[in-house]
Amino acid sequence: MPTSVKQMIEAANAEVPRVSPVEAQRMIAEGALVVDVRDAPELAQSGRIAGALHVSRGMLEFRADPDSPSPDLHFALDRPVIVYCASGGRSALAGRVLKELGYRKVYNLGAFKDWVAAGGAVDRPGS
């Protein structure tokens, strides 16, 4: 049965809870992994949440799966993971994929711009 991107994002949003920048800051202080799933040019232009791990949406499964040939050791199935992107769509889909891989504590921060507007710390390009 065909589906649309809009339907896929709606389904992902139903499975992956949203967190506010304030909630995310608390979770980060408690050890949550923050993952930026935007593409490299986006990071080069705007930076990323301070301390965030960059894994583009297209590589997420390969980095988050511990049995993958190229896992990223920052990921752990029992560690809370907060994902974000430019608007919240890719991060919703990324969160759903992480849940499918067995991650239980997955949260969608949504848009990077919301983090910035809330005064969240940012690692700027070239700094």
Active site residues: 85
**Tokens 């507007």 -> residue:** 117
Given CA atoms 70, 127, 94, 89 in this order, what sign does their dihedral have? negative
Strand 122-123 vs strand 81-85: parallel, antiparallel, or unpaired? unpaired
- φ, ψ for residue 36 (rounded to 5)? -90, 115
Q: Please say whether the beta carbons of 84 and 34 come within 8 A.
A: yes
On the 0-12 / 13-18 / 19+ scale of CB atoms within 10 A, 52 is: buried
